[in-house]
Chain A
Amino acid sequence: EAAVTQSPRSKVAVTGGKVTLSCHQTNNHDYMYWYRQDTGHGLRLIHYSYVADSTEKGDIPDGYKASRPSQENFSLILELASLSQTAVYFCASSAGQGGDERLFFGHGTKLSVL
């Protein structure tokens, strides 16, 4: 079974501080995604990547940066954390069209910005 691992599982950050969320997959998937989940909004795509050393903006990229240093690793960076970024963040991976097109999720990171 495909595996996506996120760290940390939860984090408390201060407003204006820098936060880095990490994601590691052992699926040999080309595509990786960062989503945030908020009550009333469902899951929304922040950034995604389909190849190492390249990232793309999703639907809500403002205030976030992403980094894909290798096929296995994908990070989400909040340079100046704000209260509005309190949410649960999910990383996911997929093989892309033509392969196993299912989306596999990590366990999520609960981020609280105070």
Chain B
Amino acid sequence: GQQVQQSPASLVLQEGENAELQCNFSTSLNSMQWFYQRPGGSLVSLFYNPSGTKHSGRLTSTTVIKERRSSLHISSSQTTDSGTYLCALEQGTGYQNFYFGKGTSLTVIP
């Protein structure tokens, strides 16, 4: 079954608004990563966050293992934030095995 579920599937924001993207997982994890993908582009790592809260500019990632969730907060959104955000759960002992969510498609309109 689906081990990683992302919500919402899509989101439209007015420039300047904040966004909260969710990633819920049904199994144990070693780590959680968040990626950004521009349409037709590659995946760029935003956060490697096995637990706790991390900040990078206007982005904040929070992973709560006991609640089996991770979130990505985008503050003061800009049109250049538009794209798809994916989370990936990493499992495995001795080797890495990544499970991806289907992504949240974000559109920021001016």
Chain A positions near chain B (C-beta within 8 angstroms) = 31, 33, 35, 40-45, 50, 90, 92, 94, 96-97, 101-108
Contacts and interface: CB of A to CB of B under 8 A. Distances in A.
A43 B86 contact: yes
A107 B43 CA distance: 8
Given A42-B101, A94-B96, A97-B30, A107 B42 contact: yes
Q: Of residues B45, B90, B100, B101, which shows the largest number of chain A Cβ atoms within 10 Å of its Cβ?
A: B100
A33 to B, nearest CB: 8
Contacts of A90: 42-43
A97 B30 CA distance: 9
B33 A106 contact: no
Given A42-B103, A103-B45, A105-B42, 6 more contacts: A31-B96, A33-B98, A45-B98, A102-B45, A103-B33, A106-B42
Contact of A42 (B31, B44, B86): B86
B41 interface: yes
Contacts of A106: 42
B96 A101 contact: yes
16 contacts: A31-B95, A35-B100, A42-B86, A42-B103, A43-B100, A44-B100, A96-B96, A97-B95, A97-B96, A101-B30, A101-B31, A103-B35, A103-B88, A105-B35, A105-B43, A107-B42
